[in-house]
Amino acid sequence: MKGLIFDVQRFSIHDGPGIRTTVFLKGCPLSCLWCQNPESIKKGREIIFNRSKCIGCGRCQEVCPLGAITLESRERVDRSRCDLCGQCISVCYANALRMVGQEIASDLLLEEVLKDLPFYLESGGGVTLSGGEPLIQLDFCFEFLELCKGKGINTCVETAGFVSWSSLEALLPFVDLFLYDLKVIDGEKHHRFTGVKNDLILENAVRLCASGASVEFRMPLVPGHNDDEEDLERMTEFIKGVTLKSPRSRGSRPEPTLHVLLYHRLGMSKYEQLGRDYPLMEVPTPSAELIERIKSRCERLGVKVKVGE
């Protein structure tokens, strides 16, 4: 089974317990305004152009068989004409042009992540599948995670939950922790900010917790978009409700927790490299005052807050 990935990040410490290798899969059904990995959204391969690296040699324009490259164009690549043949990339001395999206077989990916096995064993870490939305490549995820568990590797899946319940259910035996993104609790706002409604996402969160799976809820904190106190109260009540009703709570009683991820603009350059406009130019990073207000509010309502990248 082959999957389409766009990055493998080693020594990750924010994507689950311990030291981890995070594999980023391409494709996502959401289009969040604040997405920090815009190269993850489209299912297929894409060409990225980094203007700061370009030396203006013109070789890319010379070899393009479709005339899709113009040196005078700021975007450099006319994506409506480009067929992703990659000839321009092969002659780019400065590495200003590169292809995003690489097919890899599940067994070869396993060989790659096994190189870091000593770090997993020492730290209690493992492998995390992220994206994009990794579960839109369900068959590949299933096969790869099964291989990982066969080697005793701890596994996490980061998901927005906008998939069929059968997709999540199929992975239950092979996933140690689901990192479950709750972007916005209000349905109308969720549709406006991400392009999809959140009914399925919330329904799957309920069913996932009811199944006894280990779930960590995460929310990107985006000023002016999902920091409204009423929405926040509804978010915490939802998390508290599904966590305390989980079968796991009858034994270890997991504490309702929300991992707040701070919005930043570090991915802004990727939009330019993909020939897209960055949608949140005027949105600041969360202030210390906002972070403390969110944290205090949630914890008063009975949900512990972790703040991280």
**C-alpha to C-alpha distance for 24 and 45, rounded to whole angstroms:** 13
Opening angle at CA 148, ends 209 and 12, nearest 5: 75
**Final residue before a domain boundary, out of 82, 100, 118:** 100
CATH of the domain at 81: 3.30.70.20
Q: What is the mean pLDDT of residues 80-97?
A: 95
The answer on 190 and 58 residing in a single domain is no
The answer on 106 and 95 residing in a single domain is no
* Pairing between β-strand 257-262 and β-strand 304-308 as defined by DSSP bridges: parallel
Whether the CB-CB separation of 140 and 120 falls below 8 Å is answered with: no
Answer yes or no: is pLDDT of 309 > 70. Answer: no
Put simply, whether the predicted model's pTM sits higher than 0.95 gets the answer no
Considering only CA atoms, give the Rg of the chain. Answer: 21
- Tally the domains of the chain: 2
CATH of the domain at 301: 3.20.20.70
The answer on 175 and 192 residing in a single domain is yes
**Helix orientation angle between 229-244 and 199-210, rounded to the nearest 10 degrees:** 30
pLDDT of residue 244: 84
Bridge partners of residue 23, in order along the sequence: 8, 129
Structural domain span for residue 140? 2-42+102-308
The answer on 89 and 60 residing in a single domain is yes
**C-alpha to C-alpha distance for 205 and 216, rounded to whole angstroms:** 10
The answer on 122 and 58 residing in a single domain is no
The answer on 134 and 79 residing in a single domain is no
Average pLDDT along the chain: 94
Answer yes or no: is pLDDT of 251 > 70. Answer: no
**C-alpha to C-alpha distance for 262 and 248, rounded to whole angstroms:** 29
**Helix orientation angle between 229-244 and 288-300, rounded to the nearest 10 degrees:** 40
* Pairing between β-strand 2-12 and β-strand 20-25 as defined by DSSP bridges: antiparallel
The answer on 140 and 198 residing in a single domain is yes
**Final residue before a domain boundary, out of 59, 81, 100:** 100
Q: What is the pLDDT of residues 6-26, one digit of tens each?
A: 999 999 998 999 999 999 999
Listing DSSP states for 209-249 in one string gives HHTT--EEEEEEE-TTTS--HHHHHHHHHHHHHHHHTSGGG
pLDDT of residue 50: 95
